[in-house]
Structure 1
Amino acid sequence: MREKLFIGPRLRMLRQGRAWTLEACASRLGLSPSYLSQIEANQRPVTARVLIDAMRVFEVDAAALDAADDQRLIADLREAAADPVSGAETPGLAEIKQVVTNAPHFARAYLALHRAYRQLDERLKQTEEAVSLDERGAASALLPYEEVRDFFHYKDNYIHALDVAAEALAAELGLDLGRAGEAVLERCLAERLDVTVEHASELDLLRRYEPETRRLVLGAAQPAATRGFQMAYQIAAMTLTDIVEAELEAASFRSESAAQVCRTGLLNYAAGALLLPYERFREAARQVRHDIEQLSLIFQTSLEQVFHRLSTLQRPGARGVPFYFVRLDRAGNITKRHSATRFHFARFGGTCPMWNVHDAFSRPDAWMVQLAEMPDGVRYVCVAKGLVKSSGAYLRADRRYALGLGCEAQYAEQLVYADGLDLSGPSAPIGISCRICERGDCSQRAFPPVDRAFEVRENDRRWVPFALK
């Protein structure tokens, strides 16, 4: 049975954004005002005809009316509401879905309030720690990074104005005609921007720009792809600043720290879009069925740059396969996360141990592929790859990460990694994190979900030492 489609709040926002009255909009859609009012109140689902008419009248594609954002809000709101700091009874999943469906602005306001509370609580703890240790200047909270991640998350990790401008700049510089390479980028910096590129042997240096001398110093110990990316970053920083600042102003971040983090993130985004121009990259990805190694060779970029770029192909009218992208360190911390899918990432605590991205650390030379299913029933083809970044010195530890990329199983035919997978067979049950996972039969569960009662059976010990009620 086909699931009913409720798009009331989105339809209302599109109508109000054009300053149309209910009657005027109903007339354009060929509906009665009372029928449209019921649709906007989510009292009636939309039919296929109404959906097609809405796409035509509002000049948007189906993604603009999709419920992917609802799923993200549901996951985020459920995790925030289940936070023990609230001290209140946790609302059920059905109640949370009702809030997100009928009052999405309220849901976002609740998340913003929860984020602000967590930030204040973190600062208080750091202040207490600093006082107890008689230290000055406790480390700054990481929550600005969470705010920036949310910024990209709710934009489907696609920044239209910046992406289009970077693609045009790539064409102007001739970077869209073939491999960019260090020599081409260095020549662009010298001829277009009067910037001289030099190399230094500082092991941890990626990029240092000296405005007074217009000198860009790159770390000689870094791979060619990393040096190329840093040159692209400098080009973006010197040519696309107006667009970046406009995005920052529109975002209205709560702190200057978050704005600084996002500025770097936007320039990194622009650098990736410059080296991997949208249309050329999307077409190449389609032709090689999203083979990451092939794309890395074609564009002379790193695997991580390709992973990230694949998660950004969400241009209206020219969308690619919607992917999630994640990078984890060995402690399980998510250091990067972007998603154009319904895949949910944990905002607090660890990730699911059943997810194949954790296995990638033990076999960095192999590509790990997994058919996985989230608690909402959506199945994903999950690709994971271990990554070792050399420190450049024997006595310094290499940096190790795991990269994850995935899309819903419905796109499996477009993914070379799905070849050989039994898409009709069993899938690995994974979740967001134990603290909010609904699964009751997981042998890897670390602790019970915060919104479920449990009991410890003294005379019946299992792998998991408690049973959910």
Structure 2
Amino acid sequence: MIDSNLLAGPALRRLRKREGLTQAAMAAALGISPSYLNLIERNQRPLSARVLVQVIERFDFDPRSLREDDAIGGLDGLVRRMADRRFADLGIDREEVQEFLAAAPQIAAAFARLYDQAGSGPAAEGEDASAVARRAIERWQNHFADLDHAAEDLADELRLSRGEISAALGERLREKHRITVRILPAEVMPGQVHRLDLHARQLQLSEMLPGAARRFQIARQVGALEMREGIETLVAGANLPSAEARSIFREHITDYLAGALLLPYRRFLRACEQTGYDLAVLQRRFAVSFDQAARRLTTLGRVGERGLPFFMAIIDRAGRLADFTAGGAGALYPLEGARWPAWIPYAAFERPGTVLTQAVTFGEGEAAPRHWFTITRTVDGDGVMCTARRAVVLGIEARFAGELAYARGVSLDPADAVPLGTPCLRCGRAECLTPAPSRMASALPRPRQIS
């Protein structure tokens, strides 16, 4: 379906110049007036479906180029870059970024490329390998199209279904790669979840892993072996500065492939839309865990078949952010160092296994806080690597949440949302809902200096 409000002026102008046409000549070829074409090129009128069809037919135009900003993560990707602390004094808001992207998408892409190259090198002071890898993942909005299609094709080839997933994947390992799956006692694999023993030609899994985790590890090994070239192409293309960052990025992509095999894109998206993204139903239907289904929700960015845009966070019992994936939600990384006692993930530990929901607003370096609908549930560790209970948080902009089963009966009016402040070490407001340590520090009396 063509967006009736599609603004594509710069792309149409580049096409006209490539063809060596004046506005009058191109307008005549499209059957519109030169003045109307002028307004389209200046983004003062949208490109209608009728005119777009004419452009495609007469100039062999690829309509995918109209979404050229996908390569930099679209508006949300550019907003994330502009939120860098180095630009904080400029007060750039989301509306300005949107105008910049609409008026000069190629210049915006050039800025994003320079920013990413600078951010991946020594200029990004204080960033550890995880942060560098996370930024590479965000650049793709956590959707790796070629690998996702390949995983879906393999899932269809193997005819994976709920009752036969482990058997089908295990058989694939045995027949194609001469590797068998073996479940070993916990004392034989102390502190380990899985181990690939190439000498014995075995994928060894701990008996402590539950069924969903076992299936994930088998799918992960199949993906790593069969799509190694695609994985390494992505890792090389990310141009990451350290071996550690490349390793983290590679591990993420391999985990991504496992999820794509167990939850094939079209079938999973169709199930999401049929059930209102009900994770309890999705877990049962695809024989996966809550966190596996939740993470897959952050990957639904296929062009022409997009799902709802979620972010996902994992918070440990101490309130520390253990993981964050922006996905297609365009969320920044606002939770680092934050302690928001009013946010529902902290209450989730008192009600383990229960799905809790909450509408919140929090600032992310933009002019105004954004309005989010969040879904939280605790998941338990696997008992192998001392992983304790943690809270899995899914977030989506409230304007999209009306389609969710979990949002039924919940007010999505911004006035009813719980306001969460931007993490700020200098905030001294007693009523502020920002991190607890900040409020506590502001309430303590200052030590008296002894002269």
Residue correspondence of structure 1 range 450-469 to structure 2 within 5 A: none
Q: Deviations over 1:346-405 (max 9, x none)?
A: 38543655443333233222211012234445432210111221425xxx9551221111
Residue correspondence of structure 1 range 93-172 to structure 2 within 5 A: 93-94=92-93, 97=96, 101=101, 103-104=107-108, 105-107=110-112, 109-110=114-115, 112-114=117-119, 116-117=121-122, 121-122=125-126, 143-172=128-157
**Corresponding residue for 1:85?**
none
SS of equivalent residue, structure 2 residue 326: strand
Instruction: Give the residue type in structure 2 aligned to 1:294.
Output: V
Residue correspondence of structure 1 range 68-467 to structure 2 within 5 A: 69-81=74-86, 90-94=89-93, 97=96, 101=101, 103-104=107-108, 105-107=110-112, 109-110=114-115, 112-114=117-119, 116-117=121-122, 121-122=125-126, 143-175=128-160, 177-200=161-184, 201=186, 202-330=189-317, 331-346=319-334, 348-350=336-338, 352-375=340-363, 376=368, 378-391=370-383, 398-424=387-413, 426-430=415-419, 433-435=422-424, 443-446=432-435
Q: Deviations over 1:161-185 (max 9, x none)?
A: 000000001111121x444443332
Unpaired segments ≥5 residues, structure 1: 83-88, 123-141, 450-461
Distance 1:108 1:434, change over 3 A: farther
Instruction: Give the residue type in structure 2 aligned to 1:335.
Output: D
Question: How many corresponding residue pairs?
Answer: 415
Q: How far apart, CA to CA, are the structure 1 residues paired with 2:35 and 2:115?
A: 31
Q: Superposition RMSD on alpha carbons, in Å?
A: 4.2
Contact kept? 1:195, 1:216, Cα under 8 Å: yes
Q: How far apart, CA to CA, are the structure 1 residues paired with 2:128 and 2:48?
A: 42
Offset of residue 298 of structure 1: 1.0
TM-score (normalised: structure 2):
0.77
Q: Deviations over 1:100-121 (max 9, x none)?
A: 64553335534653564575x4
Offset of residue 409 of structure 1: 2.5
**Corresponding residue for 2:449?**
none
SS of equivalent residue, structure 1 residue 93: coil
Instruction: Give the residue type in structure 2 aligned to 1:426.
Output: A
Offset of residue 291 of structure 1: 0.9
Distance 1:313 1:110, change over 3 A: closer
Q: How far apart, CA to CA, are the structure 2 residues paired with 1:408 and 1:434?
A: 20
Q: How far apart, CA to CA, are the structure 2 residues paired with 1:448 and 1:37?
A: 56
TM-score (normalised: structure 1):
0.74
SS of equivalent residue, structure 1 residue 317: coil
SS of equivalent residue, structure 1 residue 60: helix
Q: Deviations over 1:68-106 (max 9, x none)?
A: 733443344324326xxxxxx822235994696455333
Q: How far apart, CA to CA, are the structure 2 residues paired with 1:240 and 1:47?
A: 44
Offset of residue 433 of structure 1: 3.8
Q: How far apart, CA to CA, are the structure 1 residues paired with 2:113 and 2:86?
A: 12
**Corresponding residue for 1:59?**
63
Offset of residue 195 of structure 1: 0.9
**Corresponding residue for 1:137?**
none
**Corresponding residue for 1:131?**
none
Q: Deviations over 1:401-459 (max 9, x none)?
A: 2111122223333211001112246332445842499999961234999xxxxxxxxxx
Distance 1:91 1:238, change over 3 A: same
Q: How far apart, CA to CA, are the structure 1 residues paired with 2:83 and 2:263?
A: 36
Offset of residue 317 of structure 1: 1.3
Q: How far apart, CA to CA, are the structure 2 residues paired with 1:251 and 1:191?
A: 33
Instruction: Give the residue type in structure 2 aligned to 1:194.
Output: R
Contact kept? 1:371, 1:423, Cα under 8 Å: yes
Distance 1:49 1:431, change over 3 A: farther
Q: How far apart, CA to CA, are the structure 1 residues paired with 2:76 and 2:256?
A: 25
Contact kept? 1:203, 1:391, Cα under 8 Å: no
Q: How far apart, CA to CA, are the structure 1 residues paired with 2:81 and 2:429?
A: 21
Distance 1:35 1:257, change over 3 A: farther
SS of equivalent residue, structure 1 residue 318: coil
Instruction: Give the residue type in structure 2 aligned to 1:419.
Output: R
SS of equivalent residue, structure 1 residue 372: strand
Unpaired segments ≥5 residues, structure 2: 446-451
Instruction: Give the residue type in structure 1 aligned to 2:351.
Output: R
Between stretches 180-189 and 305-314, larger displacement belongs to: 180-189
Contact kept? 2:7, 2:45, Cα under 8 Å: no
Offset of residue 273 of structure 1: 0.5
Q: How far apart, CA to CA, are the structure 2 residues paired with 1:195 and 1:397?
A: 28
Q: How far apart, CA to CA, are the structure 1 residues paired with 2:116 and 2:13?
A: 25
**Corresponding residue for 2:46?**
48
